Structures are given as C-alpha cells and as structure tokens.
Amino acid sequence: MFHVKHKAPHILLINPWITDFAAYNFWIKPLGLLSIASLLRENAFRVTLIDCLDFSIKTQKYGDGRFFKTKIEKPLLFKSIPRNYSQYGIPEEILLKRLLFIEEPDLICVTSGMTYWYPGVFKVVEIIKKLFKNAPIILGGIYATLCYDHAKKYSGVDIVFNGSGEVEILKLISGITKFRIPQSLRARGLSEPEAEFRIDSLPYPAFDLYPQFDYVCIVTSRGCPLRCTYCGSPFLTKGFFRRDPLKVVDEIEYWTNKYQVNNIAFYDDALLIEPSKHFIPIMKEVMKRGIRCNFHTPNAIHVKEIDEEVAGLLFRGGFKTIRLGFETSNKDTQIETGRKVDNQEFRQAIKHLKRVGYLGEEIGVYIMIGLPEHRVGEIEESIAFVKEAGAKPMLVEYSPIPYTPLFEKAKRMSKFDLENEPLYHNNSILPCQWDGFTIADYKRLKEDLRRG
C-alpha cells in the first residue's frame, strides 16, 4: 500500500507599505517577521517572504537610503494638512505580479509597524484577500499589539496576534494548519515559561530570503530596564533579556563571513546597559576575531553608559552612526520622563566620544519635540546646549504611544482623538501642538538647524 506524502504548509509572510508624509530607510527590516520565518523553516514549513519596503531608489554608502514613493490620496482626517501623503516601497503593480507568481499559501502572516501606518497594512490585506480567498490571515506587529481593538474591528484579518514571541506564533500557525511540528521545542530549550525570549536558542533571522541584501539588523537584547514615560518598549516586551555576548559575535561573524555584509544596525533598546557584562565583551571579541564591519545605532544608545572605555570600543570597533538618546536639557523634563540622563553625564559622554576620535558632526543627538505642554523655548535651549557641547542636534517629533504613562497626558491636551484613531499618533502632524509650541515653531526650528 502506497502512502501519499503531503507537502508541508506554505506560509506567506508580508511586510506592508509605509503610508506617511515622510519616511526614510534607516536600516529598516521586519526583524520579528524574519525571525518567525527562520523558525518556521526550521520546523519544516515552506516560507515565502514579500517585503513591500525592499525597494529603495537611492542607497547611501552605509546601506541606508530613500524609499521609492508613490503619492496617494490623503486620509480624510488629513485633508486640511498641506503636505503630500505617500505610499513608500514597492510599486503596487510589481507587488501584484509577485503575488500572482507564488504558490497558493495555506496561511498568510502580515506584520505591522507604527500605529499610524495602518492604511498600508489594510491595503495589503485587501489585496491578498482578493487573490487568496481560502488562506487565513494573521496580523501581528506593533500596530496589532498597541491598537488591538482597532485592528480587530477594521483590519479584515482572521486573527489579530497581540503578543510577542516567535515560539508563540509558531504554535498558533501549527494549530491553524494542523501541521505537527517535527522538531522538539523542548530539545531547543524553547518550551519553558517565557521561552520566546531565549533568543540565543532561535535561528538567525532569514535575511537570505531577500534576493540580495547589503545590511542586516541584529538584536542583542529584548526589552529595556528603563521606564521612559514616552516609550512603548515596556509594554511591547515584558521584562529585559540579553543574549550571550559570544553568541552575538558568532552571529556578526556569520553575516560578515558567509554573506560579506559590511553594515549591521543594532535594534536594541538598551545596547549599553551594564556595559561590562554585555557591550564591552561583545566588542572586545569582535576585535579579537578581526571582524571588520560598519555598525550603526539608529535606535539611539544610552548616554550615561558612555565612559572612556565604551567610547574607545565604539570608535575602534567600527561604529559609524552614533545616535544618542538625550531628548532634552531641561532638568525638570528629564526627571518627569524617566531620569534617563542628566546634563553632566551628557557633557562627559561627548568629551569621551570626541577624545577617541569622533567629530562633532558624527555624534547625532536626538532632541524630542512636541511633547505634551512642551515649550518652544525649552527646545531652543536644548539645541543650544547640544551645540555648545560640540555635537549635532537632531529633532525627533513625539508620537503618542498607547499604554505609555505620557499617552494619558497627551490624550488630555491634544485636539485630536488619540484614543480611537491611530492616524492621529502620526508625529508629522505634531499631535500635541499648543500655543506654546506650534507647527510654525517647528518649521522655524528645522530651518534654523538646516542653516547651521
């Protein structure tokens, strides 16, 4: 008697477009989705990836660059805003061609980024529902987690996954497809409580699913021990978990040796926390093995951890893009938002970075603007303070994030319905503008910085 050997389920993974007034590719990759792809493959699922953002028109020397963009009609809520609204990433006709040539999926997983990018998510869902009528759709990611009720009500998907953890989603997919996972999770140490955060037990993200790639993204930890009032990290990841430093270096070596990758961006929220236990051993091992690579920190690193040794390792280890999370020089605001750093610590960090060889214009310092009740005078003072210290101020617009302490304050003072409409979280519209800080103030500050 012959037994028919059934194919393993085919899972289609999609990273949607960005829909916004502006977007730039600061080493953006759907790292969570790529980690899920690796775990699915390791457990015998067949996987196809379509990344709608994998379509840059101009790439800089370190791999960052501008997305291709298509001007689209603005959401009705934004009609009064005199700016173009665009869909960033692959042209729609190319996406349709790619979808038409892939095998019918058994299940589709769509990820999501910022809460106010959901129109791009909804459009992708609408397209795939027409093409693949029988495939269930799971929506996960940041928007799905922070705006779970909104996603359930309006996205049109079958399941909204509002959690984090590759193992959890693997089990969900296995249950839906009724495909028994052949590899024992227990054998990999993934079956214990909070196992999804044992990222050393997970395979490397599936960057090889891209036709080509000139950079990769790495996380050496998940979560953050700090509690900044504007940040959603504590809600998105419960707890703080770090990888074995040597295994981090193994991964760096894997990408640089096997794929000749020259640029690596760290996605950590807390790369420098307790540097003697984590960052310092990583970078010493990188240099010991002779690994040559350009490293980047688009998520910003913690200022107070930068002493002479850390600064030296950043410079000698190959960190080309240094971004510091400073936010403000106002002492009261520093205390109110979480006591992440003070002005003296900032000055010392800049001195250490410049002493080891960084130029002032190479040290980008994030200054947050548009916080609830934020005065334009405070922002001007912060800009002047950063310049005086010899670094480069970079304005970062505040986006209200659900479940953060500051979100409640933002809801009270904003003229927009932040609670029920995620589009109003868009930092480009300055959701918390008021008499003390207006769009006109913002434009003037940006222009002043451009002129130097």
Question: Average pLDDT by consecutive 10-residue portion of the chain (452 residues)?
Answer: 62 98 94 95 95 83 91 94 95 96 96 97 97 96 97 97 84 91 52 53 94 93 92 89 95 97 95 96 98 95 96 97 95 93 96 97 96 94 97 96 96 95 96 92 91 80
Rounded Cα gap, residues 259 and 211, in angstroms: 12
Which two structure tokens, joined as six digits, stand for 383? 């800009």
Q: Are residues 430 and 365 in the same domain?
A: yes
pLDDT of residue 371: 95
Domain count of the chain? 2
- In a domain, residue 323? The reply is yes
Using DSSP, state whether 169 is helix, strand or coil.
Answer: helix
CB under 8 Å to 440, separation ≥6 — which residues? Answer: none
Per DSSP, 194 falls in state: T
pTM (two decimals):
0.93
Instruction: Let me know: does 85 contact 74? Beta carbons within 8 Å.
Output: yes
Domain end (from 149, 168, 187): 187
Q: Are residues 158 and 291 in the same domain?
A: no
Rg (CA), the chain: 22
Q: Are residues 259 and 147 in the same domain?
A: no
Q: Are residues 135 and 275 in the same domain?
A: no
pLDDT of residue 3: 38
CB under 8 Å to 205, separation ≥6 — which residues? Answer: 29, 31, 34, 35, 37, 38, 216, 217
Q: Are residues 234 and 183 in the same domain?
A: no
Q: Which of 216, 199, 201 is nearest to 30 (CA)?
A: 216
Rounded Cα gap, residues 129 and 117, in angstroms: 19
Q: Are residues 263 and 163 in the same domain?
A: no
Q: List the Cα angle 170/175/177 in 5-degree steps.
A: 95
- In a domain, residue 204? The reply is no
Count how many residues are written for the chain.
Answer: 452
Tell me the residue type at 170. Answer: L
Domain end (from 169, 187, 205): 187
Tell me the residue type at 155. Answer: S
Distances, alpha carbon 229 to alpha carbons 242, 327, 362, 401, in Å: 22, 12, 28, 10
**Domain coverage including residue 349:** 214-451
Strand 215-218 versus strand 159-160 pairing type: unpaired
Q: Are residues 390 and 249 in the same domain?
A: yes
- In a domain, residue 202? The reply is no
Using DSSP, state whether 362 is helix, strand or coil.
Answer: helix
Q: Are residues 378 and 273 in the same domain?
A: yes
Instruction: Let me know: does 168 contact 196? Beta carbons within 8 Å.
Output: yes
Tell me the residue type at 60. Answer: Q
pLDDT of residue 451: 86
